[in-house]
Structure 1
Amino acid sequence: MSLFHLSDYFLLRTPLLPAASAVDLLTITERHEIEEKLRHLFQNEQLKEALFLASPAFSAEVQKWLEYKKESSSKMIASLLKYAIRMSTRSTPFGLFAGVSFGNIAVSEKKVSLIRSNANQAVLKLDTTILTKIIEQISKDKRIYSQLYYRLNPTLYLDGKYYKYYQKVTNGKKGQHILKRIRLTPILDRVIQYFEHNKKTSHYQSLIDLLQGLGASITHAALFVNNLISLGIISSELQPNVIGRGYLDSLITTLERVDKEGNYLNPLLTIRKWLHSSQSVIEIRTAILKLLQPLAPDLDMTNSLQGDLLIGMDENNLSDTALDHIRDQFQDLLPLCNQAKLTDFDRFRAAFSVKYEDRMVPLTTALDPDIGIGYGRQEGVYNITDEILGEVNNITPAGEKKYGDHHYQDLVIEKFVESVKNQFTEIQLTSKDLDHIAKQRKQTVNTIPSSCYAIGNLLRSSCQENLFFNLVTIGGSSSGNLISRFAHLDEKLNNKLKESADTEQQQFPNAILAEICHYPDNNAGNIIYRPALRKATICLSPTIDKEQEQIDVNDLYLFIKDQRLILWSRKFNKMVIPRLTTAHNFEQGMNIYKFLADFQFQNNRLDLSWNWGIMKEQPRLPRISYKNIILSRAQWRIQKIAKYPSTPQAFIKNIQAELAIPAMVIISSGDNELLINLDNPFCIEIVLDHMCKREIILTEYILNDYSSV
C-alpha cells in the first residue's frame, strides 16, 4: 500500500511570459535586432508594470529608452534581457514576474487541461518594512498609545530572581531576537501577575490605574509603563499579526477605534483604496507615496509595494490517473531518503536524555542557556553555559564521514564511473538499484510527514504517453508550507488549505497540531502572512487574536518517551505537535522558534533528492532519473578564470567541446537560475563576467528534451 495519496488540488506556478519568448530572444545574435525585440516586448503594459514594481529606477530609464529619449547602453540591454528571460522561464513567484493559479485534480478522461486566459490579476500590498515603520511612528503619539491594549511578551518566563524574555532588535529590514533578563522587583512582579490574571492583555490606562493604586504618581506610572514598552516586555495591539487578517486591515480596524482625529486612519484608508484600485501599478504607487510621505518622512520608499500575480486560467485541471504513476514512483524512491545528520534537534534530544532522563521539564527551562541546555546557535543570548552539549556537539555518527559520504555512496560512484566510461548523458536508476540502496540503509523508511508537497515541472515526452516530472524538491512538515502565502489571492485555495489542515489534525486525535505564530523580521513579513489554518497557535509574537486558541509557551513541557521528545500542554493535557506552515527559513531564528520549527520534523523528514556526495565537485555530472521522475538534471562545473579572455567565443567553444555542454543551458546559483544560449555573444559576456568572479555551475535546460504540459 502506498504511503502517498494525492490531494484533489494543486497550485500552478507560471512565468508571466511563455518559455518560447526567452528562446526567441536568445537565438538573436545581432545587438540591434535584440534591442528592437526588447523594445517591442516591453511595450506590453503588464511587462512594464512588472519591471516597475521590481525596480522603479531602472524602469524609469527603460521608459526613456522606449520613448527614444535615451540611448541604450550595453549594461541596460543586458539587464533588460535578463529580466525578459526571468519573466519567461522562472516560475518562482517574484513580484509580477510569475504568478500562481489554483487547479483541480479529479477523475477525468483528459489527462491535462491547462488553458491560460488574459485575465491576470495583480494584487498589491504595502511592504512590511514600510508598514512597521508607520506603526513605530503611530506608537510614539500619546493620543494613540494611551488608548491601546497591550500584551505581555509571550516568551517571558521566570528564572529565580530574574524574568527572561526575547526582545526583537531591528536593523532596517533585518531583525534579531535577543534573550534578555531583567531583575524581578515587587512592582514588576505585580504588573506581570496582573497581566497573567487578565489573559496577558491590558489597556494602557488600566496599567496606569494599577500603578497609581500601588502608590505611584501618574508621572512615574506613565514612565514605568513606557519603559515596559521600550524594553519589549509588553507590546501594543498595533504589532503585525502573521496569521489571520492582513496587516493593513488589522491596523485600520484598531485605528478606527483610537484615532479619533483621523491623522493616521484617513491616509491609510485612502492607501487601502488605492491598493484595490484598477489603475496601473505606476499610478497606484505614485499616489500611495504621496500619502506615505507624511506618515514616515525619513523612510526609503524604493520598495514600498509588494505584489502577487494571480494567473488567469480558463481551464486548470489534471486527471488523477495522469499522476498516479508519479505518486507510485515516489513510493519506490523512499530508499533514497537522505538520513538525517546530527542536527541541533538531535543534539538537544541526546543532551536532554542525559540531563533530565525521564523527567518532565518546562520547555523554557530546557531551552535556557544558563539553567537548561540551550538550543542551536547561542548567539543573541547574554550568557552561555553549554556543558551538556559540549560532549555531544563533537559526536559524528558511526559510518558518517564529514566530507559528505552517505548510505548509497558506493552506488553513486559506480554509476558515475559507468557514465564516464560509456559517455552517458543520463543515468536511469532501476528497481534493482533501489533495492540495493534500501539494504544499505540502517533503517526502513516507513514514516513520512502526515502531509507534504512535491514541487517540479510536469513534462511531456514525444516517445512516451505518460507524463514526466522534473522533481525540484519533495518534503515539508505540511502540504501548505510553500503555498499558504498565496491563500489571500484565491478563496478556493484558502478553503482547501484549511481543509488540508483539518485532515492533518484528524490523523492525530490525541494531539493538538498548533501553528507557530512568530514575526521574525520585516524581510520575512512579506512571505509569512497566512490564513488561520489551525484551531490553536503557539504564540511567540505579542499579537492579540481572540479567534484562535493560544498555547502559552509557559504551558509547554518536554519529556522523553521511546527515544522521542514529547511536547506536552498541561492546560489541555495533550501532546502538542508544532507546525510552521510557511516557506520561511527559520535556521537563523531565535532559539525557541528554531526548536519548535525543528520539532515538526522529528523522525519524519522526507528528502528524496539525489545526493552526489563526494562526487558533486566533478566537472560533469549526468542527469539522474527513475522511470518518469527526473531526480537531478545534468550539470557542469566550470572553474573561475583569472582574466577575461581575448577571444571570448573561442574560449567558450573550447569549454563546450571539452565537457559536451549544449548551447541552451542554465546558469545556476542556489535557487536563482538564468537561461542562456552559449551561441549568443550577449550570453557569452554574461557567462564570462560570472567566471571572472567565481566558479560557475551550468545546469541542463530540461526543455531541450521535453515539452512543458
Structure 2
Amino acid sequence: MKDFNESLFLPASTFMVRVPQLPIDDFYDLLKNANLYEKLFTFYENNPIIQESILIASPSLYEGLANRHQSSNKRIKQLASSLLKYISRMSTRPTPFGLFSFVSMGKWGSGTELFFNFKNVKKRARTDIAWLASVLAKICEENILLPSVLIRTNPLAYTVGGRTYLKYIRKKNNKNSKQKISVRNSPLIKRIIELSKTPIAMLSLEEKILFDYPKIERNKLQILIRQLLTKQILRLSIMPSLLSETPFEDFINNVENSFGKIATIAYLHRLLKEIENYSEISLGKGVIQLKELFTKMNKVSNSGFTPLQIDSAYPSNLLTLNKKISNELSEVSEILWKLSFWKKDLNPLKSYHSEFLNKYGSSRIVNLKEVLNEDLGLGIPETYKGKNLKHYNISEEEEKFIQWLRKEYEECLYKRKQEIVLNEKFLKNLTTNIDKTEALLSFDITCEIIANSQQDIDAGNYLIFVPFITWEGGSTSSRFLDLLGDSAKSYMKDLIHNEELLEKNTLFSDISFMPFDIRTGNVCIHKNFRKYVIDLDNPLSKFGKQISFDDIYVGATSKRLFLTLKNTKKELVVRAHHLFNPDLAPEIVKFLREVSSERYSNISPFFWGDLEQSFFLPRIIYKKTILCAAQWIITLDILQMKKNIKPQQLEIPFNNWAKKWKIPRYVFMTVGDKRVLLDRKQSEHLHEILKEIQKGNEVKLIEKLGQNKGCWVKSERGLHVSEFTISFIKNKKYSSPEDFSQIPVHKDILLKDRIKLPGSEWLFAKFYMNQDSENYFIAELLPKFINAILHQKIINQFFFIRYKCKNGDHLRIRFKGKKGILASKLIPLLHDWILELYEDQLIKDYHLSSYEKEIERYGGAELMDYAENFFFFDSYCTIVLLQLIKNKAINFPNYVVAALSIIDLLKNCGFNVDESIKFLSFSNKDKNELIGFREWRKPLTDLSKVMMQDNLFENKNDKIQLLKKTFTIRKEALLKYSKKIKQKGKNISIIETLIHIHCNRFLGTNHSLEKKARVYALQSLISLRHLSIVGSH
C-alpha cells in the first residue's frame, strides 16, 4: 500500500462542507403528489425558511407568489415552474446562494460524524456591491465633493499613440468586458494623469495644474476633472476595497471623508445597524424585517438588484470525516495532475514567451506596462484577442491514453455501457517520466461523497465524485471566513504560510480588483493573508504592503516568463484568492496570473479532449472515485424533430431516446450555467426538460449519482445532500524552487543609448529572401558590398544574423559608421544594390528599421562595444567558413565545422577540456542528435585535439590549417570580450548566447542543426578526455 507521506499532495487539516437548507426527503416526498404544482404552493406557504430564501433570491418571485390567487392560469404555471426549480435547488444543490445552503468547517478523524442542528445556523447580511455603487452615483449627483477628496489615475488606463485608453469599464449589469473608451492626450490631460498617479487631494491637483497652466479658469478645470472621473480615467477612493471584511462601514467613512456630514450619512449608519440586527434573527423569522430593509435601502438608491448579499454558516468544531477520504483524494489528485501534465505545453503564453525572448532576450527585465504597451513593447498576447492557441505536440504517452480512451468510448457506444474503469497499472506505465517538482503548490478539490450512512463511510463503502478543482488552495472558502470564525481564519493563514514556505525565495502577492460587472464583485470579497497585495481600487496599507503595476517587471528564462520586483532578485507570484473567472479580469491582471501559473504544471478535472462535445459521455471511475459522471446532450436535431413544436409532442420521442440510451430516472438538467435536479418520470419535471428542448436549447442531462440513495449527512430535518471542499498542498519532499539569484538587475538606460534609429551611427536593414538563398547571399553577394563600403570608409563595422518570423525569413544586417556619412552615402549605395537584387530576384523585400541593442543580454552598456566588435569579426569568420564549404576547400558537413567552431569559441573564452565538457553538458540532453556521430568520432576527436592547441601551424593538414586560420579572424575580438566578461563577473549565459548567435550565422535558423553541432562538440571533447586519460596510463 502506498505510504501516505510519499503522496505528491497532502490535504489541509480541515475541510469545508456545503449543505442545502432542505433535506433530500423533501424533494422525493413532493414527487409523490399527483398535483405537484399545488403541493409546491402549499409547501412554500407552510415553510417560512423557503419564503425568506425566495425573498432574498428573487423579490419579484416572492411578490408573484404572494399574489398568485389574483393571477392568470398561465402566470400561475410560470410561478410553479420557478418555485419547482428553487425548491429543487434548496434540497439537492449545496452550492452557496443566499439562504439556499450553508457552509461549515470540519476536520479529519478516525471516524465520521456530521450532524447539523439548524437552530445553530447563522446568517450574515452585507450590502450588495452594485447597490453601493448606485448609492455613490446618486450622492455624487446631489452633493459637492470636498476639496480634500483623494483622486488617483485609474491603474488600468494606458497610453497608445497619443491617446489614453481604458478597456475595463465598470458598470451595473455590464456584460461586455471588452468595452473601451479613450481621451486625447492633450498636454493638460497628460499633466492631470501624471500628477494623479498617486492619490492626490482634489484641491492640490487643481492648484498644481493652475500653476502650470495659469490661463485656465478653475471652473473649466473642474469640469474637465469631472469628465475624466465620469470616464473612469480618474478615480475617487470611495468604493470600499474588496479586501475589507466590513465594506459598508468603510464605504460610509469614505463618503463622509469625501462629502462631509451630508444627510445621507446618518441614514446609512441607521441602515448598517438594521442590517446587523437582521443578521441576528433566526432563519425563517426575518421576512418582515428583510422587506422593510429592502424598502429603506431602495429608497436611498435602487440598483435594480437585491440590495443585500446574504450567506449562512454553521459554526462548529465537532464535525469529523474519516481520513480514509483524504487519503483517497490525495491519490486521485495525483492521478488527475499527471493526466493534466500532458497539457502543460498548451500554454496561452507560449508564443508570447518566444516574442519576448526575440525582443528582449533573457538578460533583461522590462517594466510590465511597457511590455503590454503595443507602441513600446509587445502589446497584449494574441490569445487575449480571441485568437486560438496553436496545436501543441502530443507526447507518445498521451497518444496512447487518447487511443485507449477512444477505444473504451467506442465500446460504450456499441454495447450501451455507461462506465469506463481507469486501470491503475495502465496509468502508472503512462506517467512514469513525469517530474513531480513541477506540480502546482496548492489547489481545492470539491467533491461529493456517495454513501448510505456514516457507518458505511467508516467501513469503506462509499464513492467519491470529483466535479470541480480550483488552482489556488483556499480560494473556494475565502469569502465565508468572516462567517466561519477565527478558527477558519487561522486555518487559512496556516495554509497560505505553508504554501509560501515551499518557495522561500519567492514573493507572493494577492490581487484585488472590481469586476467590469460591478455586482460580481460580491464573490471577490475576501481577507488578504499575504504580506504583499496589488489593490487596484483602494490601496491601503492596512490590507498589506501595496505593489503597483509600475513596481512589476517581466523577464524570461529559456522555458517561461516570470515576474519580479525591481532589484529584488526574487520571483513574484500573483494570486487572486477568490473564484471570479480569471478570463473576465482586466487583461493586465489576467497576464499577471497566467505568468504566475506558468511556472507550475496545473491540475484539472478529467478532460475528454476531442470527445468533450459528444452527445454521450460515460462515467469515468478510478478505484472508489468517479472522475466524470455519465451525461447526455439532447437537442431537437437529435430527436429528429422540427422547430415550432409543442413540448408535449416531444414526450414520446424523448422517452424512446431516453430508454435507448438507458438514461436514469434522476438527472441534473444543465442549460447554460443553470443546473436543476429533475425526475424525468414525473410529468411536471419532464415538462421542464421538454420545454428547454422545444426552445432549441442544447440540454445536458447528467446522472445523479446514487439515484434515490447516497445521502448520509444528518440534521434534525433528515438526510441532506452535501459537498466537501478540501485544500491540498504540495508535499515539501517534491518542492524544488528555481534559483532566481541570477535575475537581471534593472538599469535605467537612456532611450538614445538603447535604440539606434536610421540617421544615427547605426543603420539596420532587413533583407527578405528564400531560406535556400541565404548561404549564397552571405558567401558571395554580401562580402563584395561590405568590402567596398569598408574600403571607402563609409562604414567601420557591420554584423548580421538570420531571422525567421511570421513576416518571412530574412537577414538582419547592422552597419556602423559616422552618422552623417551613413545617411548621405550608405543609403544611396544600398538603394542601387537593392535595386539590382530585386531585378535579379534574389530578395523579396527590404526594410530599414531601428536597431534596439540587447544591452543586458551581452553584459551591460560597458561591454556593448566589445560585443559588437566580436559580432563584426564573427560575421567575417562566418562568411569565410561558408566560402570554404561552397568552394569545397573543406569537405566536412556544416554541423561538423560548427562543432569545431564551438570548441574554438570555448577555448578562446578560457575553457579547458573539462570546463568545456561541463559547459556543453548543461544544454545537450537530446541524444537523438548523436545519430551519425560514430563515423565522425575519430576524425572529430583528432580535430578537437588540434583545436585545443595554440600553435596554428602545428598540424600539417591543409584543411585543418584553413579552419584554424579562419577562426583566428575573430580570436582577438573574442579574447578582449571574454576578458571583460570575466572582469565584470558577468553570467556565463553570455558565452551560451555567443555560441547560439554564431550557430545562427553559420547554420541558419534550423535549431536541430545547432543541437547536433553542440552534441558532436561535447562527444568529441569527451572522447579527447578519454584518450588523454588512457594515454597518461
User: Quick check: 78-87 or 216-225, which moved more?
Assistant: 216-225
Rate the CA distance shift 1:597–1:629 in 2: closer, same or farther, 3 A: same
Q: CA deviation at 1:577?
A: 0.7
CA distance in 1, matches of 2:678, 2:377: 53
Secondary structure of 1:348's counterpart equals helix
Q: Tell me the equivalent position of 1:202.
A: 200
Q: Deviations over 1:379-408 (max 9, x none)?
A: 89xxxxxxxx99xx77422349xxxx9762
Decide whether the 8 Å contact of 2:616 with 2:633 is kept in 1.
yes
The SS at the match of 2:98 is: coil
Matched with 2:537 is: 541
Residues 117-266 of structure 1 aligned to structure 2 (within 5 Å): 117-155=118-156, 168=169, 170=171, 172-174=173-175, 176=177, 191=192, 194-195=195-196, 200-214=198-212, 215=214, 217-266=217-266
CA contact (8 A) 1:514 1:576 kept: yes
Call closer, same or farther: CA 1:436–1:691 in 2, change over 3 Å: farther
In 1, the alpha carbon distance for the partners of 2:245 and 2:315 equals 25
Q: Aligned in 2, Cα 1:275/1:341: closer, same or farther, shift over 3 Å?
A: farther
8 Å contact kept, 1:438–1:444: no
Residue 363 (structure 1) aligned with residue 368 (structure 2): yes
1:349 paired with 2:353, answer: yes
2:324 corresponds to 1:331:
no
Provide the aligned length of Structure 1 versus Structure 2: 682
Show the counterpart of 1:9. 14
Q: CA deviation at 1:594?
A: 1.4
After superposition, the C-alpha distances for 1:472-504 in whole angstroms (9 at most, x for unaligned) are: 12241x112222122222223233223322222
Q: Give deviations 1:19-55, integer Å, cap 9, x for gaps.
A: 2221222343x11x55235413542111100011111
CA 1:74–1:168 in 2, change beyond 3 Å: closer, same or farther?
Answer: closer
- Provide the residue aligned with 2:676 in structure 1: 674
Give deviations 1:406-464, integer Å, cap 9, x for gaps.
Answer: 7621111122234345553322211123135427x8x5554222111001102226888
Report what 2:442 is aligned to: 451
Distance 2:414 2:497 in 1: 53
Q: Are residues 233 and 703 of structure 1, via their aligned partners in 2, closer, same or farther at CA, if it must alter by over 3 Å?
A: same
Are the counterparts in 1 of residues 671 and 698 from structure 2 also a CA contact under 8 Å? Answer: no
SS in 2 for 1:154: coil
Unaligned 5+ runs, structure 2? 1-5, 714-1033
* Amino acid paired to 2:657: I
| In structure 1, distance between residues paired with 2:330 and 2:353 | 33
- Structure 1 distance, partners of 2:665, 2:162, is 68
TM-score with structure 2 setting the length: 0.61
Alignment-derived partner of residue 474 in structure 2: 480
1:376-415, aligned counterparts within 5 Å?
376=381, 395-399=390-394, 408-415=401-408
Specify the SS of the correspondent of 1:124: strand
Give the counterpart of 2:24 among 19, 27, 38: 19
1:309 aligned partner = 312
Of 568, 579, 587, the residue aligned with 2:583 is 587
| 1:689 partnered with 2:691 | yes
- Which residue is equivalent to 2:292? 287
CA distance in 2, matches of 1:88, 1:518: 34
Per-residue displacement from partner, 1:351-377 (whole Å, max 9, x unpaired)? 212222223221111111233222246
CA distance in 2, matches of 1:170, 1:608: 32
**Superposition deviation, residue 286 in structure 1:** 3.3
Counterpart of 1:587 in 2: which secondary structure? Answer: helix
Deviations 1:76-120 (A, max 9, x none): 222222111111111111121122112223xx3323434343322
Residue 547 of structure 1: CA displacement? 3.8
Contact 2:420 2:619 in 1 (8 A): yes
Give the Å deviation of 1:568.
1.3
Q: Which structure has the higher relative contact order (CA within 8 Å, separation 6+)?
A: 1
- 1:431 equivalent to 2:448? Answer no
Using the alignment, how far apart are the partners of 1:95 and 1:377 within structure 2? 39
Q: 8 Å contact 2:143–2:259 — kept in the other structure? A: no
Q: Which residue of 2 aligns with 1:700?
A: 703
Q: Is the 8 A contact 1:167 1:231 kept in 2?
A: no
User: Is the counterpart of residue 40 in structure 1 residue 43 in structure 2?
Assistant: yes
Alpha-carbon separation, structure 2, partners of 1:407 and 1:249: 58
Equivalence for 1:91: 94
Contact 1:122 1:308 in 2 (8 A): yes
Q: After the TM superposition, which of the residue ranges 149-158 and 49-58 deviates more from structure 2? A: 149-158
CA distance in structure 2 between the partners assigned to 1:152 and 1:202 by the alignment? 10
Higher deviation after alignment, 539-548 or 483-492 = 539-548
8 Å Cα contact 1:9-1:104 kept in structure 2: yes
Separation in 1, partners of 2:131, 2:376: 39
- 1:153 is matched by which residue type in structure 2? N
Distance 1:612 1:24 in 2: 37
Q: 2:319 aligns to what SS in structure 1?
A: strand
Q: Aligned letter for 1:479?
A: G
Letter in 1 for 2:26: S
The one-letter amino acid paired with 1:470 is F
Give distance in 1, aligned partners of 2:273 and 2:683. Answer: 47
1:539-688 equivalences under 5 Å are 539-541=535-537, 543-570=539-566, 572-640=568-636, 641-642=641-642, 643-644=645-646, 650-688=652-690
Cα RMSD over matched residues? 3.2
Q: Quickly say closer, same or farther: Cα 1:611–1:135, change in 2 above 3 A.
A: same
Amino acid at match of 1:120: V
1:385 equivalent in structure 2? none
Q: Normalization by structure 1: what TM-score?
A: 0.87
Percent identity of paired positions between Structure 1 and Structure 2:
21
Query: Given that residues 168 and 586 in structure 2 are in contact (C-alpha distance below 8 angstroms), is that contact kept between their aligned partners in structure 1?
Result: no
Aligned partner of 2:273 in structure 1 is: 273
**Whose helix fraction is larger, Structure 1's or Structure 2's?**
2
Aligned to 2:442, the other structure's residue is in SS state coil
AA of the residue aligned to 1:364: K
Query: What is residue 518 of structure 1 aligned with on the other side?
Result: 513
Q: Using the alignment, how far apart are the partners of 1:226 and 1:421 within structure 2?
A: 68
Deviations 1:313-354 (A, max 9, x none): 684222434422331232244332251464432232222122
2-side partners of 1:394 and 1:323: how far apart? 36
How far, CA to CA, are the matches of 2:497 and 2:141 in structure 1? Answer: 41
Equivalent residue for 1:489? 483
1:105-145: per-residue Cα shift (whole Å, max 9, x none)? 3xx33234343433222322222211101112223455434
Please state how far the C-alpha of 1:505 moved relative to its aligned partner: 2.1
* More off after superposition, 686-695 vs 159-168: 159-168
Gaps of at least 5 residues in structure 1 are 381-388
- Distance in 2 (alpha carbons) for counterparts of 1:294 and 1:85: 33
Greater gyration radius: 2
1:608, CA displacement in angstroms?
4.2
Q: 1:417 aligns with which of 410, 419, 427?
A: 410
Q: What's the CA shift for 1:573?
A: 4.8
Whole-Å separation in 1 of the counterparts to 2:226 and 2:587: 27
Q: CA deviation at 1:513?
A: 0.5
CA contact (8 A) 1:174 1:523 kept: no
Following superposition, the deviation at residue 166 of structure 1 comes to 5.5
CA separation of 1:212 and 1:649: change in aligned 2, threshold 3 A: closer
2: distance between equivalents of 1:81 and 1:161? 57
